[in-house]
């Protein structure tokens, strides 16, 4: 597959790096076409595959461990009563 | 807040928008507040202040637009104006220094990072949470917005008042810094080459 078929290609025609493709994917900005291309690319590119796995693992950890805690019980009530007092 | 297109709401509509469009984001708002201030009481006050401001300025919120992004923007601004000076900043680093360091040739090293998935799998909640909290607040913020809350570049640009290109590069640097922190923890846990 030549880089001309690469849906990540820049308008300038400059070649995209693995890192740049990976970031578009990780940042949730990739199109469906780019997702498919990257998936295929990872089959042949071990560093990309490893980086992708690592980044996804970190994200999953953050999601499960840093969505931190319950909102304090009284907070919503405090906010509601303050709003009612000024409305 | 942009004043070009203000909506007019009756008192009843105001409460309606507040209860149905603003309050459902309380969990994300509290978590964002906590991750910024690193203090439960400060987070509560910050979230409460934010909701009061949102109510007071409700006419600059346009129905049908992204309430969550609008609220996050108010919270971020309140944090900068009222809390940033007094918040606990562990390992406060010089932002400029970090920025220029990560603008150097080092930016491409992520692909060869030596942190390994196996090391992460043995981490419990505290390490990842501490690693995130140890990042400078600007880097911490983009990780929270992108990876926890799923905001897109254009939404983050509006929330943070920075260009999309800066969002992209800051996020990239934040991920590298987070990996550095995690790598330190992994080494402490005895993972060689972690």
Mean pLDDT by 10 residues, chain B (194 residues): 66 92 95 93 95 94 91 96 65 49 48 70 80 94 95 96 95 93 85 60
Number of C-beta neighbours around residue B135 at 10 A: 24
Say yes or no for a CB contact (<8 Å) between A86 and B55.
Answer: yes
Second CATH level (architecture) for the domain B11-83: Orthogonal Bundle (1.10)
Supply the pTM of this predicted model: 0.84
pLDDT value at position B108? Answer: 47
How many other CB atoms are found less than 10 A from the CB of residue B115? 24
Contact A87 B15 (CB under 8 A): yes
- What ipTM did this prediction achieve? 0.86
Asked if A46 reaches chain B (Cβ–Cβ under 8 Å), the answer is no
Q: What percent of chain A has pLDDT over 90?
A: 59
SS3 of chain A: helix, strand, coil, percent, to 5: 70, 0, 30
Q: Which domain holds residue A41?
A: 3-86
Written out in words, the top-level CATH class of the domain with range B95-188 is mainly alpha
As a whole number, the mean pLDDT across chain A is: 88
> What was the pLDDT predicted at B121?
75
Query: Computed over its alpha carbons, how large is the radius of gyration of chain B?
Result: 19
Yes or no, beta carbons of A28 and B14 under 8 Å apart: no
Number of domains in chain A: 1
What local confidence, expressed as pLDDT, does residue A24 receive?
Answer: 94
Tell me if chain B has a CB within 8 Å of the CB of A56: no
- The answer to whether A27 touches B118, Cβ cutoff 8 Å, is no
Residue A85 near residue B54, CB atoms below 8 Å? no
Closest CA to B125 of A61, A58, A60, A57: A61
Q: What was the pLDDT predicted at B1?
A: 45
pLDDT at res. A49 = 93
The SS3 assignment for B120 reads helix
- Residues of chain A under the 50 pLDDT cut: 1-2
Location of each CATH 1.10.10.10 domain in chain B: 95-188
- Across the A:B interface, residue pairs with CB atoms under 8 Å apart total 112
Q: Nearest by CB to A57, from B34, B117, B124: name it.
A: B117
């Amino acid at each position: 597959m030549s880089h001309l078929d690469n849906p990540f290609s820049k308008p300038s025609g400059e070649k995209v790096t693995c890192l740049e493709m990976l970031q578009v994917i990780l940042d949730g900005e990739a199109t469906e076409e780019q997702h498919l291309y990257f998936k295929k690319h990872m089959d042949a590119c071990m560093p990309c595959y490893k980086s992708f796995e690592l980044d996804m693992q970190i994200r999953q950890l953050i999601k499960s461990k840093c969505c931190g805690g319950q909102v304090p019980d009284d907070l919503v009530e405090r906010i509601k009563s303050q709003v009612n007092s000024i409305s | 807040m942009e004043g070009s297109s203000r909506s007019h709401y009756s008192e009843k509509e105001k409460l309606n928008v507040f209860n149905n469009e603003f309050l459902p984001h309380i969990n994300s708002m509290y978590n964002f507040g906590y991750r910024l201030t690193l203090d439960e009481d400060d987070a509560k006050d910050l979230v409460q202040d934010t909701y009061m401001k949102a109510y007071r300025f409700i006419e600059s919120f346009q129905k049908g637009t992204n309430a969550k992004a609008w609220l996050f923007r108010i919270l971020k601004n309140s944090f900068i104006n009222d809390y940033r000076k007094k918040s606990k900043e562990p390992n406060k680093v010089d932002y400029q220094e970090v920025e220029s360091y990560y603008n150097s040739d080092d930016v491409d090293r992520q692909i060869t990072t030596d942190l390994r998935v196996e090391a992460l799998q043995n981490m419990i909640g505290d390490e990842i949470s501490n690693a995130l909290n140890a990042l400078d607040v600007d880097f911490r913020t983009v990780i929270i917005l992108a990876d926890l809350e799923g905001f897109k570049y254009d939404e983050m640009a509006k929330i943070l008042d920075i260009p999309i290109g800066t969002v992209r590069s800051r996020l990239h640097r934040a991920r590298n810094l987070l990996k550095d922190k995690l790598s330190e923890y992994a080494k402490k846990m005895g993972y060689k080459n972690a």
